[in-house]
């Protein structure tokens, strides 16, 4: 779904500023995607603020709310419940100079609350101001004048916006499981953790305990006695010798100085990490599968290999030892092929998990196995052969067998006619 355009926002504000005029805010619910505000003015209206970064949307529904309450309260929701609940809609206007921004003002005779709704893609936000306090859904950025849009698209009607949004919700995940919201939640959690660590490290740097140990050491050296002033007594062990106390005092001072140096380095690293986290933006993960590993290289074996049309790799060892080495390095879901009831070459089809191998590819590898197994005299075009294929998980080498023989089960048998290679 495309984000709301400037013209669509203007149409929305123009229409609902009249509908919601004088309506009282009675309920606020929030989840990871945004908020829903319940207004009552002869009938109930729900204003949904869907704050998904790429496609923010503002909609109004009559008598029902398609937005579900999240498992945990949101700071903006709590703030609205405390400062805006039971207030009345005083004004609803669009700030066209800043682009897709609207301001909803709620008030009574003594209190006023302002909701600045920013529906700018990748900069969407909700900034709430009341009684000298400000809170925002995201860290607010300074608003800038919006450039003029040439050839704007035809605006969708309010009905179209509703239908598109509802259709997307049916296909979408639960709001509380929205990947963008989950990423943002984790980002805030990481930021909070790092900021706490920053405070602790700063306290460690500001601690001057090393100076006290230094003072103890200097006093002991100067006076050659473990009789020290009252404020230094906690740092002296009267049971130990003077030399031991001197060495301990300077050693402790040195250790604390080294710790402070390390803390300064860590402080600088943390500040960089926090700055990077604050600037970071959500990026959808690409679920690309890793490439296939070359079994021949991994097994340190000799033999032949070729690539099938499906992208899978077929291997055939040069000797019994090479075949066993390849088998041991193969994945459980790889295929093992061999002529049925006939000694000869083994072949392995190395594939991605759940990758389908076509019948044509299987026949190509089976023909290869037959040509490698049968002598040139017994190999004839038109000859019928049977090849067994089984997943490598069901193949077991016979212990101690030097001929490379194996046992297997759960096999499939393919009968085909050899063709000209």
Lowest mean pLDDT among 31-40, 349-358, 376-385, 402-411: 376-385
List the strands of the sheet with 313-317, edge to edge: 303-307, 313-317, 346-350, 335-339, 384-391, 412-417
36 and 94 part of one domain: yes
Residue 408 counted as domain residue: yes
Give the burial string for 265-283 (b: 16+ CB within 10 Å, else e). Answer: eebeebeeebeeeeeeeee
41 and 152 part of one domain: yes
Helix (H, G, I), strand (E, B) or coil at 8: helix
Q: What Å distances lie between residue 366 and 22, 295, 332, 346, 385, CA to CA?
A: 79, 19, 20, 10, 9
pLDDT > 50? residue 175: no
pLDDT > 90? residue 183: no
pLDDT > 80? residue 27: yes
> Hey, what are 293's tokens?
């590993």
pLDDT > 50? residue 212: yes
Residue 289 counted as domain residue: no
Task: Give the distance, in angstroms, between the CA of residue 145 and the centroid of all CA atoms in the same chain.
Answer: 33
Helix (H, G, I), strand (E, B) or coil at 37: strand
234 and 361 part of one domain: no
Interval 19-45 mean pLDDT: 92
What is residue 290's predicted lDDT score, i.e. its pLDDT?
65
Residues 6+ apart with CB under 8 A from 365: 308, 314, 337, 347, 349
What is residue 284's predicted lDDT score, i.e. its pLDDT?
61
233 and 167 part of one domain: no
168 and 189 part of one domain: no
As a whole number of angstroms, the distance between CA 347 and CA 327 comes to 9
pLDDT > 70? residue 116: yes
What is residue 15's predicted lDDT score, i.e. its pLDDT?
92
132 and 256 part of one domain: no
Interval 93-111 mean pLDDT: 93
168 and 21 part of one domain: yes
35 and 86 part of one domain: yes
Question: What residues make up the domain containing 314?
Answer: 295-417
pTM over 0.75: no
Q: Tokens 């706490």 identify what position?
A: 196
pLDDT in tens, 235-273: 999 899 999 999 999 999 999 888 888 888 888 988 998
Residue 204 counted as domain residue: yes
Residue 165 counted as domain residue: yes
Q: Decide which of 279, 310, 344 is a domain's last residue.
A: 279
CATH of the domain at 72: 2.30.310.10
354 and 253 part of one domain: no
Interval 198-223 mean pLDDT: 90
Q: Decide which of 247, 279, 311 is a domain's last residue.
A: 279
**H-only helix segments in 104-157:** none
Residue 178 counted as domain residue: no
109 and 211 part of one domain: no
Burial of 24 (0-12, 13-18, 19+ CB in 10 A): middle
Helix (H, G, I), strand (E, B) or coil at 199: helix
State what percent of residues in the chain have pLDDT above 90: 43
Contact criterion met (CB below 8 Å) for 51 and 33: yes
Reported as a pLDDT band with limits 50, 70 and 90, residue 172 is: low
pLDDT > 70? residue 387: yes
pLDDT > 50? residue 122: yes
Interval 331-343 mean pLDDT: 90
Q: Tokens 């005299």 identify what position?
A: 377
141 and 235 part of one domain: no
Q: Decide which of 143, 173, 203 is a domain's last residue.
A: 173
Residue 288 counted as domain residue: no
Domain count, the chain: 3
pLDDT > 70? residue 377: no
Residue 404 counted as domain residue: yes
Q: What Å distances lie between residue 144 and 120, 129, 148, 203, 274, CA to CA?
A: 11, 19, 12, 39, 25
321 and 403 part of one domain: yes
State what percent of residues in the chain have pLDDT above 70: 94
Residue 286 counted as domain residue: no
């Amino acid at each position: 779904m495309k984000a709301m355009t400037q013209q669509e926002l203007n149409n929305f504000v123009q229409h609902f500023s009249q509908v919601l005029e004088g309506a009282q805010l009675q309920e606020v619910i929030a989840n990871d995607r945004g908020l829903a505000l319940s207004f009552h003015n002869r009938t109930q209206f729900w204003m949904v603020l869907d704050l998904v970064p790429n496609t923010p949307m503002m909609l109004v529904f009559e008598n029902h709310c398609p937005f579900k309450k999240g498992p945990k309260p949101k700071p903006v929701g709590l703030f609205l419940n405390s400062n805006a609940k039971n207030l009345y809609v005083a004004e609803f206007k669009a700030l066209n100079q800043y682009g897709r921004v609207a301001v909803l003002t709620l008030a009574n005779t003594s209190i006023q609350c302002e909701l600045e709704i920013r529906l700018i893609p990748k900069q969407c936000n909700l900034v709430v101001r009341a009684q000298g306090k400000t809170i925002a859904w995201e860290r607010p950025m300074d608003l800038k004048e919006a450039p003029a849009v040439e050839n704007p698209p035809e605006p969708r009607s309010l009905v179209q916006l509703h239908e598109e949004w509802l259709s997307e919700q049916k296909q979408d995940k639960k709001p509380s499981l929205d990947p963008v919201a989950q990423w943002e939640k984790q980002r805030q959690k990481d930021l909070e953790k790092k900021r706490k660590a920053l405070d602790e490290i700063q306290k460690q740097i500001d601690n001057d305990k090393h100076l006290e140990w230094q003072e103890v050491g200097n006093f002991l050296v100067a006076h050659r006695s473990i009789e020290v002033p009252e404020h230094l007594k906690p740092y002296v062990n009267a049971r130990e010798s003077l030399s031991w106390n001197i060495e301990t005092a300077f050693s402790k001072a040195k250790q604390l100085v080294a710790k402070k140096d390390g803390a300064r380095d860590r402080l600088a690293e943390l500040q960089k990490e926090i700055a990077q986290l604050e600037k970071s933006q959500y990026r959808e993960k690409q679920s690309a599968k890793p490439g296939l590993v070359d079994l021949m290289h991994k097994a340190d074996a000799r033999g032949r290999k070729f690539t099938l049309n499906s992208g899978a790799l077929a291997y055939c060892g040069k000797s019994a030892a090479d075949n066993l080495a390849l088998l041991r390095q193969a994945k459980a879901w790889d295929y093992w092929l061999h002529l049925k009831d006939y000694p000869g070459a083994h072949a392995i089809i190395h594939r991605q998990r759940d990758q389908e191998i076509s019948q044509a590819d299987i026949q190509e590898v089976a023909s290869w196995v037959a040509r490698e197994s049968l002598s040139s005299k017994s190999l004839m075009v038109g000859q019928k052969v049977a090849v067994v294929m089984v997943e490598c998980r069901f193949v077991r080498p016979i212990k101690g067998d030097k001929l490379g023989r194996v046992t297997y089960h759960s096999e499939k048998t393919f009968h085909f006619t050899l063709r000209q290679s």
